[in-house]
Chains A and B, each alone.
Chain A
């Protein structure tokens, strides 16, 4: 089912993953990810036609917390590890582009 993964695909996944890749990394990952994906294909041998997917080992549903207020982190605590902040905010570069 899976085609060996090519370098363009690796770049595409890098973009989806928000990880800049060097050309060396793209080459290495293409080979390594290809090997692992080929291994994953083993599962296609199994008939899972009538099997329901199992997302969690212990299938709890509707776990509700008491509707009671409790303290979260203070602004100061939340910002304590921020690489850059300004007043009570995390500082980030421009989010929206020119015509957006």
Chain B
């Protein structure tokens, strides 16, 4: 193995240290990653666009001492729904195929202010709507653990890029599981912070009361490092929280002893089966052996059931999809073919026809479905039965979590019902795809932080994630509990076969 490819093995924190101490140059790091992208991204399809020239120029500035900071020279990938004034911001949609944003997303700008180098924009489900990245209009992204399988979604490109060592770390966005689910399926760490912890300014909106940007990394320490940098109040996002950002690395080494880990009865039903269950059961044992106490808690309105046909069901999924489609139908009304984006070239009679045809030509099937579901749920005569009902159930779900956290510090459960599924397996059945988020939706409704980290491998060698849930602003506990699990289980920093094949 060459010295250059060695650099791609390091975590973001390790690489930052190597560059800061002069052990490696930023230029060598960028070149190593650009070479890895050349060698492997053809098979993976993680990136929509790579900023090679810009990244090289920034690396030169880092090496000249002109750019400094805790992430100086560290190559980061960014999901293609975060605005950057360089390159395009497409949301993997034909509608925005040529869109060049006039301003930078705050979270991305914060990373670069800390010295990071944005390497490129990663593929995703169009407008972040999907759980497999198959709803992208640009390319297919494959799971580095098995290229016949999906990487999860919607932040599938970021997850695959981290897992295939095509970046040191990445940003994703999570509306109903879009960071945690692909992180689980690709064997990496993914955190959805508390709602409002990270500014949404410059994140193309999908479900405004649910969306959060978060880190996708090789280990928990990197997640803590990146969160510290992207979190904080931003006066350009009125929903961003003003609480001080703590040093998330402070409690990393505190271990599991004394932690009260909540196990919600309703997440441990017959619906939790097979290999995911055995990974979770083992994680519970690992925590107990490390000195944590486990307590049974109850989240009745997030209960997950399975029927005789194997179909999963949950009130939270129903409430989530009503609320997110309602918010999306409103947010995506801005894509009108007038201000930016795709405009039909056909002759139209009036502006309504311009809107309707431009949208018909350039929005994908799932996006159309969700806009229509949302408009139905909000329309006269149905508003109370769907949207208002879902908002009431949302409160019941949030109340359940608040009650549970009186008895525990952190909740442990599955991230996904199964490991990565095959490409094409769920594309004909939208409802089936929605159920891939069944363990993650309720947190977004309640605004809580959640982190997926590698729990182990299934018998056929696919990663299985475990999910830790904290109370509002409970990120420090998540990092502590996550790091304690890594240390006790030895499952951190899994190496996907696509990397092993290279070395």
A residues lining the B interface (CB < 8 Å): 1-2, 5, 9-10, 13-21, 25, 29, 32-33, 35-37, 39-40, 42-46, 48, 51-58, 60, 63, 65-66, 73, 77-78, 80-84, 90, 92-95, 97
Contacts and interface: CB of A to CB of B under 8 A. Distances in A.
B446 A19 contact: no
Nearest first, the 10 closest Cβ-Cβ pairs linking A and B are A57-B447, A81-B340, A53-B391, A83-B343, A48-B392, A54-B395, A20-B360, A51-B392, A63-B238, A57-B195
A90 B431 contact: no
Interface of B: 98-100, 102-103, 194-196, 209-210, 235, 238-239, 241, 301, 313, 315, 317-319, 321-322, 329, 333, 336-343, 348-357, 359-360, 363, 365, 368-369, 371-373, 375-377, 379, 385-386, 388-396, 398, 430-431, 434, 444-448, 472
A80 B350 contact: no
B311 to A, nearest CB: 10
B372 A17 contact: yes
Contacts of B100: 80-81
Contact of B376 (A33, A35, A66, A95): A33
B195 A58 contact: yes
Contacts of A36: 321, 373, 430-431, 434
Main secondary structure of the interface of B (DSSP, over half): helix
B127 to A, nearest CB: 14
Contacts of A52: 392, 395
Contacts of A65: 235, 238
Contact of B356 (A19, A32, A39, A94): A19
Given A82-B338, A92-B351, A95-B350, A48 B322 contact: no
A51 B99 CA distance: 43
A54 B196 contact: no
Contacts of B390: 40, 43
A94 B348 CA distance: 9
Nearest to A10: B372
Contacts of A9: 376
B321 A54 contact: no
A10 B377 CA distance: 13
A48 B399 CA distance: 13
B354 A93 contact: yes
B209 A57 contact: yes
12 contacts: A21-B368, A25-B365, A39-B431, A40-B318, A40-B386, A48-B393, A53-B394, A55-B209, A58-B472, A60-B238, A66-B235, A81-B102
Nearest to A51: B392
A93 B375 contact: no
Given A60-B239, A81-B341, 7 more contacts: A14-B372, A17-B329, A19-B368, A40-B377, A63-B239, A78-B339, A83-B340
Given A10-B372, A32-B369, A57-B447, A44 B389 contact: yes
Contacts of B195: 57-58
B389 A43 contact: yes
